[in-house]
Amino acid sequence: MSDAGNLPRAGDLGLIGCHVCRLVCRDVEAEDAACPRCGSPLHKRKSNSYMRTWALLIAAFIFYVPANVLPIMRTVSLGDVDDNTIMSGIIELWVKGSPDLAVIVFTASIIVPMLKFVALGLLLVSSQQGSRWALRQRSKLYRLVEFIGYWSMLDVFVVALLTALVQFGFFSQVEPLPGVVFFGLTVVITMIASMTFDPRLIWDGRDFDD
């Protein structure tokens, strides 16, 4: 609309840049073009970005279900076996007098992954439809998703640390349970999904094509 609309973009000028050696080549509109200098594949946008991001996002979402349903950690203290799922752990923290910790864990383990699903979904849908709504904010949202991605590994770290540290036989023991694997997978796949998403697609509004 504004200045941005008038300024030329690389695609408009028939140019394509190599992501690896930064060589600018002529866009030959070929699907499988490669950089003549370093040999890495050339593409205007990340190839099949929508499809891959969708696929990964869906996969992450599927894994997110067992991650929450299955227990992630077993604590054995004085013979008292206690299996915790993410949510039951948070509730226990809250009930047993650590609401601050409960909030942190809730944020890292529930809010952040959910936020990533929602944010990525929103970005994907809006970009696929070529919406020109809130372009800058959507770009910020994408950067936020990339940034907070690894923070949701908090639960995995906690379980890994406790498992390593708390091994006192009968008195106290912590074991990881399958849930944490699925939770880790969810986090990793959402991170990959956010990486496969090409933020330039946000700006590839329909208006620019015409």
Partner 1 sequence: MTDDKKITGDLPEPVVRKPRINASLVWLVPVIAALVGLSLVIHAWSAAGPTISISFQSAEGLDPGKTVVKYKNVVIGKVSTVRLSEDRSHVVAKVALEKSARSFATADSRFWVVRPRIGLGGVSGIDTLLSGAFIGADVGQSQEPKDDFVGLETPPTVTHGAPGKTFDLHADDLGSLDIGSPIYFRRIQVGRVSSYHLNEDGKGVTLQIFIDAPNDKYVTTSSRFWNASGVDVSIGADGLKVNTQSLATVLAGGVAFQDPPGPHDATQAQENDAFTLFNDKGTAMAPPDGEPRYIRMRFNQSLRGLAVDAPVEFLGVPFGRVVSINLDFDEKTQTFPTIVGAVVYPDRLGKAHDKLVALAKARGDDEQMSQMMGRLVERGLRAQARSGNLLTGQLYIAMDFLPKAPKVEFDGRSKPLEIPTAPGDFDKIQQQIADIVGKLQKVPFDSIGNNLNDTLAELHKTLQQVNGSVLPEVKTTLQGAQKTLGNANNAFAPDSPLQQNLGGSLQELQRAARSLRVLTDYLGDHPDALLRGRRADDKPLQAPPPPPPQDAPSQGSKP
Residues that bind partner 1 (CB under 8 A): 8, 12-16, 23-26, 28, 30-37, 39, 41-42, 47-48, 51-52, 55-56, 58-60, 62-63, 65-66, 70, 78-83, 88, 185, 189
The CA–CA distances, whole Å, from 15 to 10, 21, 27, 32, 130 equal 5, 15, 5, 15, 22
Judged by DSSP in three states, 171 sits in: coil
Residue (1 or 78) nearer to partner 1, CB? 78
Residue (16 or 174) nearer to partner 1, CB? 16
| Smallest separation, CB 19 to partner 1 (Å) | 13
| Smallest separation, CB 5 to partner 1 (Å) | 14
Residue (104 or 204) nearer to partner 1, CB? 204
Give the Cα separation of 190 and 159 in Å (integer).
20
| Smallest separation, CB 207 to partner 1 (Å) | 15
Q: How far apart are the first and last CA of the chain?
A: 13
Please give the backbone phi and psi of residue 173, each rounded to the nearest 5 degrees, phi first. -155, 140
Give the Cα separation of 70 and 177 in Å (integer).
8
Residue (77 or 107) nearer to partner 1, CB? 77
